[in-house]
Amino acid sequence: MLAPGQQLEHKSMTLNVGPSHPTTHGIVRLLLQVEGEEIISADVEIGYLHRGFEKMCENHPWNQCVVYVDRLNYVSPIINDIGYHMAVEKLMDIEVPIRGQWVRVLTSELMRICDHQTCLAATCMELGAFTAFLYLIKGRELLWEILERLCGARVTTSYSRIGGLTDDLYPDFEAQVRQAIKDCRDINAEVNTLMTGNRIFIDRTRGIGALSREDCISYGFTGPMARAAGIEVDVRAHSPYLTYGQLDFEIPLCSNGDCYDRYLVRFHEMEQSLRIIEQCFQKMPSSGPVSVQDYRITPPAKELVYSRIEELMAHFKHHMWGHMIAPPPGQLYHAVEGGNGELGFYLVSTGEERPWKVRCRPPCFGITQAMREMIVGRTIGDIVPIFGSINMIGGELDR
């Protein structure tokens, strides 16, 4: 009982959210200081998925690093592989055949759609919109089935190689993708009806986790997070690689930098990726090699390995120390546009068969640094849409 004139004492409480909390996806620990429902201070602890990616690459041959690169952003792994392999190709002054470049663009955009669908689906589910979650996961499954048939794996695809790709597109690939494009557009229309004007969804996301344009630049934001704050940055448009310079696409922009605008940017980017895929089918050569025709760079086809001694020798050289790929001494940085923004690789070669240095610039590292600013002053319930909107991928963040 309070005595007359006595007031309640306000005390803050320390609250742990994660790393085992469903909202943090088993990756991040948030150490919060709260007064009631309001977060007055926060500390973001990362590193729970660190496995020494860069050092593992430095202890393996150049062409075997793909299995580690695959596991950076495991939601869109083909983009990781292509980024790393393009960096090695620049070191070696290798130009991939034009059809191989188009196929790389096409598969990258398919993976970008899968990445955005996964992000939006998880956000919708965590906010209670389970129907929209099912629609988006259905759309992702349509694309994953195609990519699984193409690559032989659903998640860690290892489809790209130094000098090209493991294989060309299968015969009815275009027909299947065109049907999937139609289905994805129908699904996106359903999700747009369910979510974009939904009062509950708007109340949970609009004005939540907003960062100014200046703050986004200070933290080094790229990708959808930056574009949601009105920063027109996209590696595909401003530093075109592969055949992106020949494609016509728009960069979706918003201005508020909040969770709702991040949803809108990703939603509209899926349509732009579908447009890019359609243009790829129109402009890419109908036939031709997808890899460099040089056994010193790309291994021979298996059917030739089993029947010709020259190809058998070339195959073994790719797996024997003293005969493997060895770029000339040099260093460079190469970036591609990943699902979360600029994914860059800094490589240093000393002319040996394994890298001297591999450095990865993960796009969600700077984004996760800003998590504290986004949640302080908000309520505990706001953590869910904020964390979902940044699309933090543990393999990419912690490496």
Q: What does the pLDDT average to over 63-85? A: 87
Task: Please state, in angstroms and rounded to a whole number, the distance separating the CA atoms of residues 373 and 377.
Answer: 9
Instruction: Give the pLDDT of residue 106.
Output: 92
Give pLDDT tens digits for 31-47: 888 888 888 888 888 88
Residue 102 has pLDDT above 90, yes or no: yes
Residue 15 has pLDDT above 90, yes or no: no
pLDDT band (50, 70, 90) for residue 1: low
First to last CA, the chain: 54
pLDDT band (50, 70, 90) for residue 182: very high
Residue 23 has pLDDT above 70, yes or no: no
Does pTM top 0.85 for this prediction?
yes
94 in Cβ contact with 326 (< 8 Å)? no
Instruction: Give the pLDDT of residue 346.
Output: 92
Q: What does the pLDDT average to over 264-274? A: 91
% of residues, the chain, pLDDT over 70: 96
Give pLDDT tens digits for 280-292: 999 888 888 888 8
Instruction: Give the pLDDT of residue 276.
Output: 92
Edge-to-edge, what's the strand order for the sheet holding 357-361?
Answer: 330-337, 342-349, 357-361
Q: Is the dihedral of CA 98, 104, 107, 111 positive or negative?
A: negative
Residue 16, phi then psi, degrees to nearest 5: -95, 130
Instruction: Give the pLDDT of residue 109.
Output: 92
| Cα–Cα nearest to 150, from 191, 189, 104, 182 | 104
Residue 7 has pLDDT above 80, yes or no: no
Residue 321 has pLDDT above 80, yes or no: no
Instruction: Give the pLDDT of residue 249.
Output: 87
What is the distance of C-alpha 232 from the center of its chain?
Answer: 18
335 in Cβ contact with 239 (< 8 Å)? yes
Average of per-residue pLDDT values in the chain: 86
127 in Cβ contact with 88 (< 8 Å)? no
Residue 121 has pLDDT above 80, yes or no: yes
Cβ atoms < 10 Å from Cβ of 46 = 18
Q: What does the pLDDT average to over 40-57? A: 85
Task: Please state, in angstroms and rounded to a whole number, the distance separating the CA atoms of residues 282 and 249.
Answer: 14
